[in-house]
Amino acid sequence: MIKGTYQDTPSHPFTLGMEVAGVIDSLGDGVKGFAIGDRVAVFGGQGGLAELGCFDAIRAVKLPDAMPFTDAAAFQIAYGTSHVALDYRARLQPGETLLVLGAAGGVGLTAVEIGKLMGANVIACARGADKLQAAKAAGADHLIDARTQDIRAEVKSLGGADVVYDPVGGEQWDAAFRACKPDARLLPIGFASGEVPQIKSNHLLVKNLSVLGVYWGGYLAFKPEVLTDSLATLMQWHADGRLHPHVSNTFPLDQADEGLEMLRTRKSTGKVVITIQDL
């Protein structure tokens, strides 16, 4: 968004921060189902890095009493993206092999965790031992170091991938693409590498592959029930103790750029949360 290259960058001027958690301070006319003082999480798309925000009620979800605000602020996009991608889009089945690229990132870790909950054999690919350890703690069965190992060779040695979850793009997409089993499904989630892959349709044809785009927030515009149903499942899993949001760092609002720098330099694992005040 800062660079202006994200697929849904708002027009200028806008405030960064796609999702928030907090307490409702006031309600617009005609808003039903919420009350002042309710604890909520909101996918706003923008406006999060501020002391107050004004959001459409359809973008808000009430929080379970036991969910901390730090977890809630890191929850919707990361877990929602992975659950919609793996369950609704890819129809991941128990016993299938799931390859997660960028497996220590904000969405990657949730894909490892959810994939394992869904019964998959999870291969996690990340850069360096520390990040791979985070993926292992989230449930990964096999680990690949993207810095030192041949992704294609390692995945093929494990039998190939049925589903590829890719928030990275670039060379890692190419390697994963070539390591797919016939009839595999590939999920482009994002392009952290800065390189958007160009997909050769003749290769899709030969191996009967499917590429399934996933833009979680896009469902708000044409099929919001996909998100509400998914979030209801995820909130229940969290309440049952089956999900464990990973927040590697928190920063106060006046140090927000330090949090952004951790993302730019890929020094974080899981999510980075900016705290606005002591709620």
Average pLDDT, stretch 146-152? 97
Q: How do residues 209-266 score in pLDDT, each as one tens digit?
A: 999 999 998 998 899 999 989 999 999 999 999 999 999 999 999 999 999 999 888 8
Q: Containing domain of residue 229, as a range?
A: 19-76+219-275
Structural domain ending residue among the three candidates 182, 200, 216: 216
Q: How do residues 170-187 score in pLDDT, each as one tens digit?
A: 999 999 999 999 999 999
Contact 138, 200 (CB under 8 A): no
How many structural domains compose the chain?
2
Here the CATH number for the domain that contains residue 252 is 3.90.180.10
Q: Is residue 96 domain-shared with residue 119, that is, in the same domain? A: yes
Amino acid sitting at position 76? Q
Residue 3 located in a structural domain: no
Residue 8 located in a structural domain: no
Residue 138 located in a structural domain: yes
pLDDT at 87 over 70: yes
List phi, psi (to 5°) of 164: -115, 125
**CA–CA separation, 23 vs 8, rounded Å?**
26
In the prediction, which pLDDT does 234 show? 95
Q: Is residue 207 domain-shared with residue 234, that is, in the same domain? A: no
Can you give the pTM of this predicted structure?
0.89
Q: How do residues 9-30 score in pLDDT, each as one tens digit?
A: 888 899 999 999 999 999 999 9
Q: How do residues 122-132 score in pLDDT, each as one tens digit?
A: 999 999 999 99
pLDDT bracket for residue 146 (50, 70, 90): very high
In the prediction, which pLDDT does 268 show? 87
Q: How many CB atoms lie within 10 A of CB 4?
A: 7
Q: Is residue 87 domain-shared with residue 205, that is, in the same domain? A: yes
Q: Is residue 29 domain-shared with residue 89, that is, in the same domain? A: no
| Contacts with 246 (C-beta within 8 Å, 6 or more apart), sequence order | 74, 109, 134, 138, 269, 270, 271
In the prediction, which pLDDT does 267 show? 87
Q: How do residues 215-227 score in pLDDT, each as one tens digit?
A: 998 998 899 999 9
Q: Is residue 72 domain-shared with residue 82, that is, in the same domain? A: no
